[in-house]
Structures are given as C-alpha cells and as structure tokens.
Copies of this chain bind each other. A is one copy, B any other.
C-alpha cells in the first residue's frame, strides 16, 4: 500500500487563530462566542485569521466538555426503525420533536433499541454524551436504559413509558380515549363489539387475547386502551392483539374477528390504531362486508391514510403536537424543572367508517 507521507496538516485550533491574529486565546474565544466585549477591529482581525487558517469554529467536543452542555438529545426507539416508523403516527411525533428541539438548538441522536436485547442499548449510549433522552413512542413499562441514564444524571422524558419516577411524561389518557370510540359505537346501537389491540408484550404473534392478558401487559399504552374497551364492551367481546403495528397485521386480526358465522360476528370493531383499523377495513372488504353498512370500524391517532377510501372514525391524537409537547418538556427539564406528568388531550373524530348496525 502507498505509505501516505503527507504529514497530516493538523487542523487549526483556536490557539493558532489567536496567535496569528496577535491576541490571546481568551480573546479569540470571546469573538466566536460573542460573550464578552471585544473591539470591532480586534474581532475582525481574529475572523480574518480564522478564515486564512480554515478554522470553522471552536471544536464542539472541547467546547462541550468545558461548558458541560452537549446539545444532543437521545431519541430511543424500540425495535428496528423500519418497524417503528412504519406507523405514520410515530413519524409525526418524531417530526414534531425534531422541530421543537431544533428551536432549542439541539439535535437528535437516534438510538434503535433491540427488542430482544434491550440492554445492548446501554452499552451504545454509555459512550455517547447526551443532555437528555426521550422515549417518544410508548414502549415497555420498564427499560434497562432508565437506571443507566438516571445514574448519569441524564434528564428523561417519555410518552407513557418507561414507568419511573425519574421520567417525565406527556400523557395521553389512553383508557378514556378508547372509551370515547367504544361509547360512540354503543350510542349508534351496536351491541356486538370486537377489539384489535396493539402488542400487549414484546414479540407476540397475532391472535386472540383475554382480560388476563391485558392485566399482565408490558406495554402501558396498549393495556390502557384495552381497558378502555373493556370498560364499555359487553362481557365476552372478542379481542385480538397484533404482532406488529402494520396494516397487514391489522388485516389478519380483522379476519380473525370477522370471518365467523354471522350470528357471532361483531357489528363493530374498535382498533387501537389507525393502521390497524385500515387493515380491518381491508379484511372486511375481502370478506365482502361493506364498511360502514355491515361493519363499523374505529381507529386511534387520526393519521392520514390517503389510499384508504374511507375517513376513519378515530380518536384524534395530533402526533406533531405531541412531539412538540415532548420537546417542550425536554427543554423545561433541562432548565431545572422536575419530572412531572403533563396530560395530552385527545378527542373523537367521527368519520365515514362508522354507522348504526345493520338490521
């Protein structure tokens, strides 16, 4: 191999710049940070020297070390990104968060935490300097990262999980929200309801679940919504959980609920997410059932699914706004506020996917 004999030009430092401008490094520092009074002429000399030397600005590392501020916020996402972000709602939250953090001059460090080995994320984050960590998507109730970050003194913010007194939350009342959708169906006259739940614990397959499964759930948000459904649903209403948050899984779940003798078939299906509801609508179509005439379907989130002919009746939870709220909470916590929980309001949006039951 060609021995690269170009004595590595060594990038210019603040000291080089100061020297060239004939000032002390302290003065040069003031020029770039703008924190102290510097004569205009001096400042110009320093800037000229910097330009000559190709000095782009103080080294972020050294600067952060001294100031004790990094400007980076870890964003923890459970599972592979292509799963987590397949849900448009997750994307919306992420986007709102990004906008809000931008405003505060902070950048997102994206950390994908493996579902099977969540502890691996600890090693990954241990070598990264961060001011705060956000759990933007409701994940498991407990998370090995919490202890690590807590002892490091890193501020944590989440949206329902992980559960810990150290984590501040932007909290949706999942239970009441889901009840809203269920009640709407009862009001329309439905009496046979089905439910499609998000994953109640990691690594499950799509299939029926019981009240007991809900009690022992690992994902607080899914459990909360399931409780909301149980609050209003007649005893024995069929419930199915999906293995992943996708239209395909929703369709599979929908078939499980709808492909049964008509006497047992629910006249309405309450889904914990719009993507799942979209799947159920597709399942209904493939079974020759018209929505909403023969089956009503509700979702959760209120995301945009232009390819679905129908506008879903759904529990509206503005994702971008939720991201903003998370970002704002990060900012407040970095300013010294303690870990508090803040409510995030949801509401029912009636679309064209619900109607009175047939007959």
Contacts and interface: CB of A to CB of B under 8 A. Distances in A.
Interface of A: 4, 11, 54, 56-57, 59-65, 70-72, 75, 80-82, 85-86, 88, 91-92, 94-95, 98-99, 102, 105, 107-112, 124-129, 148, 151-153, 246-248, 251, 278-279, 282, 306-308, 320, 336
Given A107-B124, A112-B102, A246-B306, A56 B148 contact: yes
A105 B120 CA distance: 11
Contact of A127 (B60, B82, B127, B148): B60
A64 B61 CA distance: 7
Number of copies: 2
Given A110-B109, A129-B60, A306-B246, A91 B102 contact: no
Nearest to A247: B307
A238 to B, nearest CB: 23
A65 B54 CA distance: 20
A98 B81 CA distance: 8
A124 B106 CA distance: 8
B94 A82 contact: yes
A64 B129 contact: yes
9 contacts: A61-B61, A63-B127, A71-B127, A82-B88, A82-B320, A105-B124, A108-B109, A110-B110, A282-B307
Given A85-B91, A88-B86, A307-B278, A109 B112 contact: no
A80 B109 contact: no
A130 B147 CA distance: 27
Contacts of A127: 60, 63, 71, 105
Contacts of A307: 247-248, 278-279, 282, 307-308
A128 to B, nearest CB: 6
